[in-house]
Structures are given as structure tokens and as C-alpha cells.
Amino acid sequence: MQRPPEGPRIDLLGACCICAASCGSLNLMGHSKLGKKIKPGGKGAVVHPPARATGVHADSNPRPQGRLVAVVCAALVLACIAIYGQTLAHPFVNYDDNLYVTANVQVQAGLSLKGVVWAFVTDKALYFHPLTWMSHMLDCTLYGLQHPWGHHLTNLIFHSAASVLLFLAMRVLTGALWPSAAVAALFAVHPLHVESVAWVAERKDVLSAFFWMLAMGAYGLYVRRGGVLWYAAVTAAFVLGVMSKPMMVTLPCALLLLDYWPLDRVGFTAPLETMARRTTRLAAEKIPLFLITAVSAASTYIMQSQGKNLSFGDSVPLATRCANAVVV
């Protein structure tokens, strides 16, 4: 029986970003003249917020602040271990773990040049996510199939790292320490992530989340400092994320939302014409990212079509689906 396609997964990530942005914005609203400090630098120029708007507060004593950041990062890792450490004693399951690991000869052969080539050309699982395949291959090289705890450990490591990166990224974007820590803690321990961390086959989820957080942090630094290198870092993290899970294609849209709030690159107090012009420039700034999105979306559509996963509407009438939605 063909498994239905895995649709866009509604994660806590979006909610976490909104919460952090809200907290950061409230923090920034305390500076009553913030809007006046933004200098467009010319007609139609994209607004780059001042240091305070991107989380760089002029702290009179930065050392205690740095220690607090380290403590928060350590606490997030310990929280993840406390909750998900028990998964190290769990075995593989017979739902998709066989597809990705236990019955996959190519993955079981371990990480090799031949395996890397296979990861880039295979349509197995009907997704283009070579980085996910390679991560499973590396686990098989390190742990084999006799030690499933190693495969679970990799999931735990990536989820812990993603939680820490979310905290650091939100702090750069909002300038708020404790609200960012609270959002990252919510992301780290919320039950919605149990499936992603405890299920070996969901490696693609924790892997793409790691690169999503990395891209957000790099984008915050790009807005603050500018330069081709930081934009290249955002693009690289995005590409690696797309190679982990196609759901990453929504990142450019999320970055546009961050431009509005909390980065305030549009300027809410500006005339509508100015806001529209700045928005257009911000969208154009992300054209390379949208091109990557288009390529990934096209490959996913082609693969899912080959697996006949897009013909669900033909096999199940609309009335039946509506009735099922009401019951659910």
C-alpha cells in the first residue's frame, strides 16, 4: 500500500518565531525614537535597522551577558537530554525506519562515494533529500544496525543544536535575551517534537530544522552587517536545508516576514508608497532564494507525481474528505 505524501508539516517553528518577534518588538518599542534612527540612505533604499533593532545592545558590562547566554544554551541542551534521552533505549520501528535504514541496502552500506551519488539520484521515498540519506549512511558506518541508540542520538544532537541556534538567532533578530530563551525552551521541550526526535525516519525534520535556525541567524547578521559573505551563508544554509527536507522552501517567505517585524526594514511609519518600494526591493533581494524554492518544489512535484501521490483527490471524493474533516 502506497503511503500518502507527507504534506507541509505545521511545526512550532513558525509560532516560536512569531512569539520571539513579538517579545523583541515590545522590547524595541521602549526606544521611542527608534524609527527616527533608521536612515534609508537614499531614495528607495532598503532600511537596515540600527544595532539595537538586531539584538546588539550596548551593554555596559558584556561579560555577565555572555555568561547568561552560555548558561541558557547549556540549559536548553540539558532540557533536551532530560526529555529525549530515554529514546536512546528505543529500538527501530517498522514504520518508515525500514524505508530509510533497516531495509535499505544502499544506506546500510555506509557513507561512501557510491552512496553519495545514489543519494543525489534516487527517487526512493519520493523526495529529493540527499543530505538526509547521507546522514543515515554515516550513522550506519558509525553504529551499524546493532546499535539503534546511535541513530537516536544523532536525532537528539540535531534537535538540541537547533534549539540552541533558535535562541541565538532570536536574540540577534530581536535583541531580547529572556524572551528568546523562553521561545527556544518552548521549541525544545514541546510534545509536538516527540515524533521528530524519537523517530529515526524523521531525521529529515530535525536536520532541516537545524539548517532553518542557522539560516535565520545568518540572515540576522546579514541585515546587521551586510556583505556578500553573510548572504552566501544564508543561501548555503538554505540549500543544505532543502537537501534535508523540501519543507524548507518556505524559508524565503519567513525571511520577508522577519523584514517586517522585528527587523523593521520596511518602516511602519513611512508612507505607503515608500513601504511598497522597500518591500519590492526586499523581495528582489531574495530572488536567489526563491529560485532555489522553485527548483525544489518542481523536483518534489515530479517525484510525487511518479509515485501517484497527487491523485488522492481522484480516488477519494470531495464529499468523503469533507465528512472526514468534520469527524476529525
- Amino acid at site 81: I
| Count of domains forming the chain | 1
Q: Is residue 179 part of a domain?
A: yes
Q: Is residue 224 part of a domain?
A: yes
CB contact burial 145-157 (16+ within 10 A = b; e otherwise):
eeebebbbbbbbe
Coil, strand or helix at 92: coil
d(CA 155, CA 193): 11
Q: Is residue 192 part of a domain?
A: yes
> What confidence score (pLDDT) does residue 328 get?
63
Q: Is residue 325 part of a domain?
A: no
Instruction: Please check whether residue 156 is in contact with residue 164, taking contact to mean a CB–CB distance below 8 angstroms.
Output: no
| The model's pTM | 0.81
Q: Is residue 87 part of a domain?
A: yes
> What confidence score (pLDDT) does residue 107 get?
97
| DSSP per position, 28-49 | HHTSTTHHHH----STTPPP--
What percent of the chain has a predicted confidence (pLDDT) above 70? 79
Q: Is residue 321 part of a domain?
A: no
Which of 60-64, 257-261, 268-272, 310-314 reaches the highest mean pLDDT? 257-261
The pLDDT-based confidence of 318 (bands split at 50, 70, 90) is confident
**Domain limits at 232?**
12-22+49-310
**What cell does 229 get?**
559573505
Q: Is residue 324 part of a domain?
A: no
Q: Is residue 214 part of a domain?
A: yes
pLDDT of 5 above 50: no
d(CA 76, CA 190): 12
